[in-house]
Structure formats: structure tokens, C-alpha cells
Chain A
Amino acid sequence: MAKKPLLEFTDRGIYCAKGKFYIDPWKPVDDAVITHAHADHAYIGHKHYLAHHLSKQVLLYRLGDIQLQTVEYGESVMKNGVEVTLYPAGHVIGSAQIRVAYQGEVWVVSGDYKTEDDGVSTPFEPVKCHHFISECTFGMPVYQWKPQAQIFDDVNNWWRGNVSNGVATVIVGYSLGKSQRILQNLDLSIGKVYTHGVIENTNEALRRNGIILNPTERITQDTPKEDIRKGIVIAPPSSVGTPWMRKFGPYSFGYCSGWMAIRGAKRRRAADRGFVLSDHADWDGLVSAIDATGCECVYLTHGYTASFTRYLNEIGFNAREVHTLYGDDEGEEAAPTQPPPEGEEFTEAGNNNQKVSPKGGDLEGADAS
């Protein structure tokens, strides 16, 4: 009888039968190991959660009263004889790769990761293994990131320019991860940082967790518009185009995402500025990370899985495409599973409800009559 693999892909998530636990399951299970606190990896409804210490407060904020055990990177937990160890994934604060070992066989589940040190999350560490389960959100060679210092120079210059033109500055990024990365890299000599409630809630959770973040001020109805105009607003993707954002007008709005690498994607989001800043590995990052594991087999869970799998096989890896429910769009943030606190102007309205003209952009001519 063929030996059953240590980890298998089920309709609930990645499962370890030997250890009787799941990794990032999307349906309720008894025992869940969580790579990080983003909504498509940390679902509500499991009986027991295991995650990194630094994910604790955010998980409690997002999922409510859950039974949560947290550990340090490198610290092992035994589950029915199977050794589970967390290693830094560099994706967001508290994000982890999950190393699963049993009788000399080692599997690693990457969760989401990036290889660049963002100065906020614990940097990614390659972990040797036999089987590596990897994301490939940006698994196409057109995605090549520039060093973040360069991107933040652009961000700060843009902000400075807006202040001198008397225009408010709104920068958009995912509330856990991107927002803190932005916050910690802004040039605070330019002005003050204001936050949307959803982001400030996440910041507060992180501060409760002992993370030291730059000072921020939550925007309320009483925050004077003139003050906001001299500062910068950090807002989540879901707030784009809402009345909440429009009231800052006139404003310039910048979108931070890996998708901004492509002009079409940027134009679609109608951002004034697109900053190519991602919490996922770029093409070279993915290939080098996979190579560094020395794995016999790599499984691609989400992103451009088909093309990336084919490419890896052509260059000599043993790669397989796997179907999961993990998101592949870092622009579309799922709403938190808890309603926002009272009085907060969070709306879920979509950002792009205008009709698309038959031929697209304004250059491409009006209709053909």
C-alpha cells in the first residue's frame, strides 16, 4: 500500500491526518494552524487555533472570542506525534510558514510570503523541506519589484507635492500589513498620519501586541478637514470612492499594490498614483524561495498556478498545481468578520460602479456613429 502523504489537500483545507489538524482551513474544524490573520487564511468557527504570538491580538479582534494558542518562531508544538514549527514568512506582522515534520519527512506550508525585508514584519527565512506548498500570487515574470526604499521615496515626494498644492493625500492599502508598512516608512517631517477606523483598529490590536508603530490619529467626524489636508490619510481598499473618502476632496489618491505594476490594472482602479508595493514575493522572489527549500516537490496553491507550475517543471522542479480557496487578489480586501465599532463610517460600497464605455478609455474615441 502506498504511503499516505503527510499533508493532503481536502475540501476543508490542507490536512494532516497523522496530526489531526488543518492548516488555514476554510470550513470549521477542530484544530487549525493559522499562517496569518488575513481573512482568506484565518476563518471563523474552528474549535482551536494555533498561530504566532504577534498574530494574537489581530486574530482576537477579527474573529472574536476564540480558543487561541500562540508560539514563537522556531518553537515546536507536538500534535499527535507530529512536530509543528512556525517560521517567519515576511508577509505581514505575525505571518508564518508552517513546518510539519514526522519521522524524518518534512513539509512546509508557506502561507503568503515575500522575500524582501520590509522592516516591519520578521523577515522571510527559507526552510529546508521535502515538500513545499507555496503561493504564487505574482507568479508571472512581468512582476518584478523595486526595492521598497525607492517606492517610498516616490510616496513621500508625492505627499510633499500634494501638501504644497493644498490637496489632501489618501493612500490605500490592505489594513493588516500594507498599512503598517506604509506607516513606518512615511517621512513624518512632512505631516501627521490619519487613519480610517478599520486600519486604526488593526493598529490598536498590533499595539496591544507590543508592536511599536508611528503615531496615528483616527479620523472622526470632528477631525478638521484643513488638518487632514496637511497630513496623509491611510485608508483600506473598501473605502475608495465612498462618501467617507470624497469628503476629503480635493484629494489625490494613491494605491499600493503589486497589481499596480500593470498600467491596465492601475487605470481600472482609477487611482491618481499607483505604487508598486506588494507583500507577496515577485517572480524572482518566488523562484529563489522555492529553490532555497531544496524541496523534492512544490505545490502551488493560489495565483498564476497553471503557468507558474508549467515553468517550474520546465526548469527542473517537480511542481504541481493545487486548488484551494485562498484569495489571489491583494487589492480586494475581505471585510473584517466583525462589524466595525459604533459610529465608524465604514461602508462596503464597491469602488467602481461607473459604466464602462463600449471602447474603454477616453482616447479610444466615442461611438462610431
Chain B
Amino acid sequence: MKAFAQLFLSLDETNKTNEKVKVLKHYFNSVPDTDKMHMLALFTGRKPKRQINATQIRTWATEITNIPVWLFEESYHVVGDLAETMALLMPQNTDSSSNKTLTDWIGELNELGNKTEDERKLWLIESWEMLDTQERFVFNKLLTGSFRVGVSQNLVVKALADITKLDAATLTHRIMGNWLPETYTYDQLTQEQGASDDISRPYPFFLAYPIQETSEKQKSADELKTALGDAHEWQAEWKWDGIRAQLIKRDGKIFIWSRGEDLATDKFPELHPFLNALPNGTVLDGEILSFQNGLPMPFNVLQTRIGRKNLSKKILEDSPVALIAYDCLEYAGEDIRSKTQSQRREILEQLQAATPFPEIFRISALIPFSSWDELAIIREDSRAMIAEGIMLKRKSATYQVGRRRGDWWKWKIDPLSVDAVMIYAQKGHGRRADLYTDYTFAVWDGDKLVPFAKAYSGLTDAEINKVDHFIKRNTLEKFGPVRTVKPELVFEIGFEGINRSTRHKSGIALRFPRILRWRHDKPKEEADTLDNLRALLGD
């Protein structure tokens, strides 16, 4: 654990990519193989199962810190991280007396499942006593299962690639999917020929780069020509707004993976029949959307079933899903990612043509166009198509790993926007801890301000500091962590879509709301009205 705590500390002590890779390599070179795999699991979002619930951890930690519960809670709002709060509040201990490895600790943690509550509490308190502040922090992270460390998976893979002399794409693939650090060994991960025969393992997703960084800088058709060259070298599709997924049929078994590497097979029973009908050794990439009468439905319909443990009959009826397939990554048991976009498309079309379920296994239609000018005009129809814009894929492109510039681009339409007044604020987390960064915005309904959206991104750090300063001096009321703020500041709020909602006071729900800019020039009286928002519903 000392090495793991030191790893955390060293990563925190630099902002430079090269330094971070160096630190990671040093860690890999100095710990046993089992620790390497546990670290890899944690750093790629595979958290250990929670064996003690968060309320109990909090309660026992509060007992040790000898402060009232409310002060513990307020401390948490200041720190913005529960594991860190507990570590900071406990009596300081500069001597660490434990030599247990990361593997030892996780082993003990996993055994807690069979213990009584008293035994768990005793174990936890003894563990805290053995560790110094930094170790406690990392240990608490293991307990609470929130492992965001400020290092991307790419960096970890790069460090590992340097050490093992394997290429990064191969390693990225080998750490995809469902594996356990207890059973997947470092030798299996790093042997020259991938002998891993996990049939559920997905490929790393290829992600598109935005063609325009901000909505203010629109790309003209001419600029596209300069940047991308001849229009004939590209295929265009609508950019669908659903759940990106990879669907696998191997050895008679099916798997559905979301982009976040969550296994979501059970969440989409409608897709099972067509997947089962696919030939073995097939992997598809596509978007899962709700469909009704052959037409895609807005994202908020799909949203109603995300996160549900049980899919009731009603949900399945109200929000039936289908797949719009984009790509084929494996065919007849062979990895075909190095074939060209056009070759893969041909295979995908053959597969789709053969399906007995064409309503469920759909294919993302190619948009015919002969010039960038023409495509720019077609793109104007995105919203009517329930699409977010257009995807551009180079016909000669291979299927790559991660977000890359060059061969896949997303050309999104401008967000919708309204000017709104900030009325509530709450402190953020992580690097925004102890700063008011999460805001609720309102529009006018007669002479009342009605909240309609929350947003917490889009401002620069300097602007956040100014807004924070304003909030601290213009608080009208405090409700727990939320402050009611004097309505004065006006912001332009952008969003991707708008729908009716019975769950919100305003009667509307927005998709991806964020702050586009601070309207210093607008007094609050000139903010938009609920009627302006309703007009955007387009019905």
C-alpha cells in the first residue's frame, strides 16, 4: 500500500504527461505482478465491490474524528471528496506501521462480505490506525469505490507499453471488457501472442473528433474542402443521439457493451433475437435508440429506461429500442478493423440484409452528396431527423483506437440557446471543491422566475472565481449546501434538445445544457421567457 499511496502522491505532484508516465512506470517496476493488475483494474474504472456501505463508513469515521455530524458534512462540502475528507479529519498519524500490499488490502476488503457488522467496524478502525494520512486517503478511496485519479487510461497504457514493448492498441484491447484482477494475470496480459480467450471482450471504440471546436467558429463548406479534401473520399451519415454500443456474438453467446465499458446485455432484451440470429464471430458497432413506428425518438425517451434495474412491460412498450449499426469490427471470427471503411461497410450491409429482424437491426443510412456545399445544406435538416448533426468517415479509414483526428469527424449543429438568470448555486467537487460552480437557471414566467436547467460547465476559471465571489456576497437563503442567489447574473444557456417533461416544474427537459457565455451586457429583465422555451419545442 505504501507504493500505491506514493503513486497517488507522485501523480498529484506533477501536471506533465511525461512525468506522469515516468511515475507510472516506476510503480509498475517496483510492485508485485498482482499489485500491477489491481492497480490497472482501479485505474481503468473497475472498482472493488463495496463491502461496507457508505453511511456506515461515514458514521464510524465521524466517531473517530470527534466532531459533530453536521461539521463532518460541511467539511465534506469544503473538500468535495469523501475519502479525502475522512483522511483529513482523522487524528494525524505520520508513522505508517503497515507493510501490506495493495493485493493484501483488497483481499481483506473482499472477505468482509462474510463478516458481521461489528467485525467490519473493528477491521476498519484498526486499518485506519495502521495508516498515515496519505495511505488513509487511498485506502478510503478503495472503500468508497470512487476512483478518479487524474490520469487517463491512455497514460497507464502508455507506461505499460513502454515496459512490456507491446503496442498500445493491443494493450488497450486486452484491458477491455470484463476481467477480474484476481484471475487475469500480468503474464496473460503481457504475453506476446494474445492467448486470452475471453469471448466477451469488446474492441476499443473509435471516437470522432469535433470538426469545429466551438459553436462560434462555424466551418464553411470551403473550409471543409481545405481541411478534408475531396468530398468523394468521404462517407456521411447522420449523427444519432442514443447509446453508443458494441454488440458481440461469439460461440453462441451475446454481449452488449456500452461506451463506458458497462456490460448492458440485459438492458436491451429487444436486441437479443437479432443478435442470436447473427453468425458466430460477429462484432457490430452502432447506436441504440428508442424507435416508434420506424422513427427514432428523442433521447429523453430512451433516458427513462437507462439505470432501471427492472424493465417493466410498460417501459418496454413506451420506449422500445433498436440498433442503428455503423460498423462491423469482427466477421467470421476475424478482426477486420484494418480493412477500409468501405470494405467493412460492405460486410455490414451483407449482415444486415440477411437478418430476419430488419426493424431492430437497422443500418445507418449513407447520405448521398457530391459536394461539401450540398452536405452543408443537408445538415440543416439534422434536428428534423432527430440527429445531432453529421458524421464524416474517410472511405479508406481503418477502425482505430480511441479519439483520433484525421479519419472520423463529427460535424454537429449549433446548440439551441436561451438567456437565463442564475437563481441557485451549489459547491462543486474535485478541483472545483469549495467553489460555487453548479448553478440552476431560470426564465421568466410573467413576473416569476421558473427554474428550468442546471449547468456546471462552460465558464473559464477566472469567470468561475468572479461568479463564486458574487454568490458569496449575494446569498439570500441557505438550504443545506444550496444557496438561493440574488437574481442578477444572466447567462446564455446552450442545449442539444428540448422536450416536454412532467417531472420538472417548468414542464420542459433539456438535453446537455451548458453555459455558452456570461451575458454581462444583459440585465435580468431581458432574459428569455418560458414561452420562448416552449416555442422551441416545435410542436
Contacts and interface: CB of A to CB of B under 8 A. Distances in A.
Interface in A278-323: 304, 307, 310-311, 314
B88 A360 contact: no
Give the residue among B70, B239, B431 with the most A Cβ atoms within 10 A. Answer: B431
Nearest to A150: B94
B207 A366 contact: yes
B151 A356 contact: no
Nearest to B402: A366
Contacts of B149: 363
B74 A363 contact: no
Nearest to A369: B410
B148 A356 contact: no
B152 interface: yes
Contacts of B65: 141
A368 B260 CA distance: 9
A65 interface: no
Interface string B64-78: 010110110011001
Given A140-B78, A142-B79, A307-B74, A264 B461 contact: no
A142 B85 CA distance: 7
Interface stretch (A27-35, A83-91, A127-135, A347-355): A347-355
Contact of A262 (B68, B84, B239): B84
Given A265-B433, A353-B462, A362 B152 contact: yes
Contact of A358 (B207, B244, B410, B457): B457
Contacts of A146: 92
A267 B431 contact: yes
Contacts of A142: 75, 78-79, 85, 88-89
B461 A352 contact: yes
- Listed from nearest, the 3 A-B pairs whose CB atoms lie closest are A264-B433, A352-B461, A267-B431
B75 A140 contact: yes
B238 to A, nearest CB: 13
A357 B515 CA distance: 11
B378 interface: no
Most chain A CB within a 10 A radius of its CB, from B12, B92, B410, B435: B12
A75 B304 CA distance: 73
Given A261-B88, A265-B434, A311-B68, A354 B460 contact: yes
A20 interface: no
B482 interface: no
- Of B429, B458, B461, most A-chain CB atoms within 10 Å: B461
B488 interface: no
Contacts of A364: 148
B148 A361 contact: yes
B461 A356 contact: yes
Nearest to A323: B473
Contact of B432 (A264, A314, A368): A264
A144 interface: yes
Secondary structure class of chain A's binding surface, majority of residues: loop
Interface in B237-269: 239, 244, 259-260
B70 to A, nearest CB: 8
A257 B412 CA distance: 43
- Which one of A264, A272, A352 has the greatest number of beta carbons of chain B within 10 Å? A264
Contact of B464 (A264, A265, A270, A356): A356
B88 A352 contact: no
Contacts of B388: 369
A261 B208 CA distance: 39
21 contacts: A144-B92, A262-B78, A262-B84, A262-B88, A263-B431, A263-B433, A264-B80, A264-B432, A266-B12, A267-B430, A267-B431, A268-B431, A270-B15, A307-B71, A311-B71, A350-B462, A353-B461, A356-B459, A356-B464, A361-B431, A369-B207
Interface residues of B, number: 51
A11 to B, nearest CB: 14
A287 to B, nearest CB: 11
A273 interface: yes
Interface string A131-161: 0000000001110101000000000000000
B81 interface: yes
A140 B76 CA distance: 10
Interface of A: 140-142, 144, 146, 252, 261-268, 270-273, 304, 307, 310-311, 314, 332, 350, 352-366, 368-369
Contacts of A363: 148-152
A361 B464 CA distance: 16
Contacts of B148: 361, 363-364
Contacts of A358: 457-458, 514
A84 to B, nearest CB: 31
B244 A263 contact: no
B13 interface: yes
A302 to B, nearest CB: 11
B14 interface: yes
Interface string B416-439: 000000000000011111110000
Nearest to B87: A142
The listed residue with most B CB atoms (<10 A of its CB), out of A270, A273, A358, A364, is: A358
A265 B81 CA distance: 12
Contacts of A264: 79-81, 429-434
B403 interface: yes
Nearest to B68: A314
Given A350-B465, A356-B459, A364-B148, 18 more contacts: A142-B78, A262-B80, A262-B433, A268-B431, A271-B15, A272-B13, A272-B14, A304-B78, A310-B71, A311-B68, A311-B71, A353-B461, A354-B460, A355-B460, A356-B432, A359-B457, A361-B150, A366-B403
Contact of A362 (B88, B150, B244): B150
A267 B150 contact: yes
B415 to A, nearest CB: 13
A162 B511 CA distance: 47
Nearest to A366: B403
Given A142-B75, A353-B462, A354-B460, A263 B81 contact: yes
Nearest to B243: A368
A140 B78 CA distance: 8
B79 A356 contact: no
Which residue of B68, B403, B410, B430 has the most chain A CB atoms within 10 A of its CB atom? B430
Contacts of A352: 460-462, 465
Contacts of A368: 259
Contacts of B260: 365
A252 B16 CA distance: 10
Nearest to A273: B13
Residue among A140, A310, A350, A353 with most chain B CB within 10 A: A140
Contacts of A350: 461-462, 465
Nearest to B71: A311
A144 B152 CA distance: 31
A262 B79 contact: yes
A353 B71 CA distance: 33
Contacts of B78: 140, 142, 262, 304
Contact of B460 (A144, A268, A353): A353
Instruction: Identify which of B74, B457, B458 gathers the most chain A CB atoms within 10 Å of its CB.
Output: B74
A140 B433 CA distance: 14
